[in-house]
Structure 1
Amino acid sequence: MAWTAVTEHRAQLGEGPFWDAPGQALYWVDIAGQQALRLSGEHLQVWQLPEPVSAFIPCESGDALVTLSSGVYRLDLGSPQAAPRLTLLCVADPQPGNRPNEARCDARGRLWLGSMQNNIGEQGEDLPVLRRSGGLFRIDADARVTPLLSGLGIPNTLLWSEDATQVYFGDSLDGTLYRYSIGIDGQLGPPRKWFGPHPCGVPDGSAMDAEGYLWNARWDGGCLLRLAPDGEVDRVIELPVSRPSSCVFGGKDLRTLYITSAASPLNHPLDGAVLAIEVDIAGKICHRFAG
């Protein structure tokens, strides 16, 4: 496969890719580098933030959300990249010592945010995850926060079935992807194990294609797994990075697969890059925050 690094930028911990179809732009973050990045054509913008950031998602109102350690903020996209203007939207998880991790909007434009014990030191170094203090929260356009799950280790992957009655959600500490039913009241049913553990690394972020197959990045596995709706492995896509962290479908026809990655002890040349490849099936769109 012909992989391309979309920019020269190399992240310490690249994550959270989001393709904005209306703006034809790619958004992602460097969590440990405290950067929110947007690529429009060949124009790269990098906003330097005051805290680790796990997601960067455009809003229908014209600004964007960034999920920082201290809360969910609105970022003024017209503000200076070295001194971005931030406005607090809400604090989803008030647990001291936690930080946000996975975040994505559902088809109604509500932000779902998973949190975990902070594992990033003051110099950006890795810290061990010693407790299951994380949770899953839903944030409406009016900033109302609804707790959904607690006792999580490392939340990763947030994707929904076509009829919005199921959510796929992973915990990397378990090495497992789960499926939850979504009740009429919006609360989640008990977890049902859907996939994993698997010898190719642990599950990180994912994207869903138009056939309902889930493409899962395998941290320390150097690959993506395309998983069928029944949880079986359909194919293995080997990557030139050792720590792929997430992926998203983009481009005009949603047939360009973008993969974020992180630095690793193996020091592969492309570690930390955002990779792109053309694939044979279109993906599903990302949804902006409704607020």
Structure 2
Amino acid sequence: MTAYEVAVAAHATLGEGPTWDPATGRLLWVDVLGSRVHTYDPSTGRRTVRTTHQHVGAAKPRAGGGLVLNLRDGVGLLDPDDTFRWLHHEPVPGRRANDAAVAPDGSLWAGTMRYDEAPGGGTLFRITGDGSAGTVLDDVAVSNGTGWSPDGRLMYYVDSPTRRIDVFHHEDGRAVDRRRLAEIEDGAGFPDGLTVDADGCVWVALWDGGEVRRYTPDGEQDRVIELPTPRVTSCAFGGPELTDLYITTARVGLTAPHPVAGSLLVVPGAGKGLPQPAFAG
């Protein structure tokens, strides 16, 4: 068992979306249902917490500074001076934002889901820096982890209730030729957020599984990080050399939460991550 540490002791209802921001040397993560964006500087231990006006599925750095936010009613931009404006406003009753990721070309691939997790109620859509939006997938239940291979030619994706990690051919902002990379066995939880490392391996958090697993590009499981709390939500590499694996967790729905449930965890020296692009808007 690989040893974890508590990076930030917190009580997030639904911690999600860890993202390393190399421009600031900070780790970003969100509490979806708490409507909060957190930052953590591992060199100083300094933390910040910002409350959003809606449930927030993801927060990612922008190339010009500030953040892009995947919010309940669409995608918004937060400027460095804290000015907020909508980039893509599309409220749908009963639906909220979930996980999101920035593609190699700087576009945001943003997921949605219904609060009741109804099959087909969610989407995955792509939005560019100028606000142009198009649907990538329109028959999704719980849109979750999204990531790209080191050469950008493959896109990995999780719709959690399917128990699958799927892989697509990615080119010119399109994802085609969907196929299964791996499937989580019954009783082991559901795949949630993911990240891709410098070797092209996919690390995926298991909701109700209490683990982070690594799968090779051939779909073989070759590493497991066991954690003491069941609702593990996502993971990302961070730190100056991108060697530390940060892991988010949740407390929502637990009748007897473990003391670290809702905290940001870290496994130092777990591997080697890929630099993540900033949103082009």
CA RMSD after TM alignment: 1.5
Structure 1 match to 2:135:
147
Match of 1:45 among 44, 48, 54: 48
Match of 1:208 among 165, 188, 196: 196
Question: In terms of mean alpha carbon deviation, does 257-266 or 24-33 score higher?
Answer: 257-266
**Aligned partners of 2:7 and 2:225: how far apart in 1?**
18
Structure 1 match to 2:79:
76
Q: Alignment partner of 2:8: what SS? A: coil
Map residues 163-174 of structure 1 onto 2, 5 A cutoff.
Answer: 163-174=151-162
1:192 aligns with 2:179: yes
Percent of aligned pairs with the same residue? 35
Map residues 202-281 of structure 1 onto 2, 5 A cutoff.
Answer: 202-263=190-251, 264-281=254-271
Write the letter of the residue equivalent to 2:258. Answer: H
Query: CA 1:232/1:63 → structure 2, altered by over 3 Å: closer, same or farther?
Result: same
**Aligned partners of 2:141 and 2:231: how far apart in 1?**
19
**Aligned partners of 2:215 and 2:144: how far apart in 1?**
16
Structure 1 gap segments, 5+ residues each: 80-84, 120-127
**What is the TM-score with the length of structure 1 in the denominator?**
0.90
Match of 2:112 among 99, 112, 115: 115
Structure 2 gap segments, 5+ residues each: none
Q: Alignment partner of 1:38: what SS? A: strand
Deviation of 1:96 after TM superposition, in Å, equals 3.3
Structure 1 match to 2:35:
34
Structure 2 match to 1:124:
none
**What is the TM-score with the length of structure 2 in the denominator?**
0.93
Write the letter of the residue equivalent to 1:175. Answer: R
Match of 2:96 among 71, 96, 99: 99
Deviation of 1:280 after TM superposition, in Å, equals 4.4
Task: Please tell me whether the aligned partners of residues 101 and 116 of structure 1 are also in contact (alpha carbons under 8 angstroms).
Answer: yes
Q: Alignment partner of 1:173: what SS? A: helix
Write the letter of the residue equivalent to 1:235. Answer: R
**Aligned partners of 1:73 and 1:105: how far apart in 2?**
14
Match of 2:272 among 266, 282, 286: 282
Task: Please tell me whether the aligned partners of residues 192 and 206 of structure 2 are also in contact (alpha carbons under 8 angstroms).
Answer: yes
Task: Please tell me whether the aligned partners of residues 150 and 198 of structure 2 are also in contact (alpha carbons under 8 angstroms).
Answer: no
Q: Alignment partner of 1:46: what SS? A: strand
Deviations 1:191-245 (CA, angstroms, capped at 9, x unpaired): 2111113242100001111111111100000011111111111021101221110
Write the letter of the residue equivalent to 2:191. Answer: P
Q: Alignment partner of 1:5: what SS? A: strand
Q: Alignment partner of 1:159: what SS? A: strand
**Count of residues in correspondence between the two structures:** 275
Deviations 1:10-47 (CA, angstroms, capped at 9, x unpaired): 20000011001221100010001010111123221111
